[in-house]
Structure 1
Amino acid sequence: MEMTFEILAMLALVATAAGFIDAMAGGGGLLTLPALLAAGVPPTQALATNKLQSSFGSFSASWYFVRNGIVNLKEMRLAIACTFIGSAIGAEAVQYIDAGVLTSLIPLLLIAISLYFLLAPTTKAEQGESKLPEAVFALCVGGGVGFYDGFFGPGTGSIFTVCFVAIAQYSLVDATARTKVLNFTSNIAALLFFILAGLPIWELGLVMAVGGFIGAQLGARVVVTKGQRWIRPLVITMSMLMASKLLWEQHQQWLLSMF
């Protein structure tokens, strides 16, 4: 597959925009994956290359939040471990289990997340009392959502965010920061399996990674300075877009037959 300078520049630009959005609300893959497929990358390699470039973006945002003292990695070590193990198991399980059930359920979950952020009261500026012990939250949310990301993936950031807000009672800014750390963890675990299978296109993924890294730094900075004024509407928008995309893919023939 031959890549021209124009195509590489376009993909890097798309990755920059995706990294910016992903750092705040998740859903950057809505931009990068279709762009890779449009550039002629085969679907399996497109998924692997997308995971490669998105890992740099999630690392960039995580690094920004850690460096600015918003996230303490020691406090998250149990959740990080559970997320990594869950994602690794999910990436292995996807080879043997039919993802059809998840494909049907996830759009409904994303719509529910959108409605939660749309209708729920404004989140507090400070952390409240968690509804689950730390170890239970790490195992259930870290391990469960990590498994989902390794197995399937769309909406992982939104799911993590709503769990940190609704269950752990974090502010939206703190929830978003912790989401990126766990998102990076699950990305790396799944990426390792893709690398072992020899699927990522490294040259293409690394070019996009530069754009994603820059975009994520800018997005993380907006999270810190603008807070939930930007995050809340973006989470709602990206969740609804992901739900719409999945529903369209599942019911495209039926919808077209109506016209």
Structure 2
Amino acid sequence: MEFEIWQFGVFFAAGLIGGFIDAIAGGGGLICLPALMAMGVPPHAALATNKLQGSFGTFTATMNFAKKGFINFKELFVGIVCTFIGACIGTVLILFIDAKFLKFLIPVLLLAIFIYTIFSPKLGEEDRQAKLSSKTFYLLFGLGLGFYDGFFGPGTGSFWTFALVGFLGLGMKKAVAQTKAFNFVSNIVSLAVFIVGGQILWLVGLLMAVGQIVGGYLGSNMVIKKDVKFIKTMFLTMVGLTILKLIYDFI
């Protein structure tokens, strides 16, 4: 495909804004994917290119969080392995199973998260006692959410953040940081499938990736510097927009 100069500017801006928002609260795809399709990119190519550029954003945010001490990869090893396995299984099964039921179920689950977070004002403000051991948690949610991201995807970051806060007792900042690491793992699995499928627009994807790197770095720094109330507001905003997007797609 051929694009005009101004369209490349749109791609870069979408990557920058998407990476910034995704690093704070997830949901960057709600910006990047529509931008690609608005420029005339076919749906399959848009999905593939979005996964390429998004992987750079999650990687940048993950590395910045790790550098600032919010991620310890040794602690996350079991979760990373389980997420990888789950994403592989989900990516394979999407070829054989109809995802229509998930299109109905996921907005309902996200709405429950949205309501619970609103009515739990202290949620994520500080670390609390975990309800599950870390190994049990990462085994269950790593496999489950890794599978979901490989199989369907929308809202994965929201589910991870909520699960880390609600079941592992993490504060919101640390939960957001760890979410980026798990998102990156499942993104890589999906990206590998798209690369094999040959659907990626490499020039567009790499240009957006530059924006994602800048946005991911700025957004992760914002999480570190801002208070929890700001992060929760961003989180609720992106969960709400994801719910609306999924309902619109379902209708």
Could you state the TM-score of these two structures normalised by the residue count of structure 2?
0.97
Letter of the 1:44 counterpart? H
CA contact (8 A) 2:82 2:142 kept: yes
With 194-203 and 17-26 compared, the bigger mean Cα shift is at 194-203
2:10 match: 10
2:50 match: 50
CA contact (8 A) 1:172 1:227 kept: no
Deviations 1:193-225 (A, max 9, x none): 111111211111000000011001111001000
Deviations 1:65-104 (A, max 9, x none): 0011111001101100100111111111111110000000
Matches within 5 A, 1:1-259: 1-123=1-123, 125-251=125-251
Letter of the 1:171 counterpart? G
Could you state the TM-score of these two structures normalised by the residue count of structure 1?
0.94
With 226-235 and 171-180 compared, the bigger mean Cα shift is at 226-235
CA contact (8 A) 2:117 2:123 kept: no
Q: CA deviation at 1:129?
A: 2.1
Q: How far apart, in 2, do the equivalents of 1:185 and 1:23 lie?
A: 15
Deviations 1:91-147 (A, max 9, x none): 111111100000001111111111122111313554322111222111111110111
CA contact (8 A) 1:83 1:143 kept: yes
SS in 2 for 1:46: helix
CA contact (8 A) 2:51 2:191 kept: yes
Q: How far apart, in 2, do the equivalents of 1:202 and 1:69 lie?
A: 33
CA RMSD of aligned residues (A): 1.1
Letter of the 1:67 counterpart? K
Letter of the 1:102 counterpart? L
Q: How far apart, in 2, do the equivalents of 1:39 and 1:125 lie?
A: 40
What percent of counterpart residues are identical? Answer: 45
Q: How far apart, in 2, do the equivalents of 1:227 and 1:93 lie?
A: 40
Q: How far apart, in 1, do the equivalents of 2:217 and 2:181 lie?
A: 14
Q: How far apart, in 1, do the equivalents of 2:123 and 2:245 lie?
A: 28
Aligned residue pair count:
251
Q: How far apart, in 1, do the equivalents of 2:169 and 2:175 lie?
A: 9
SS in 1 for 2:40: coil
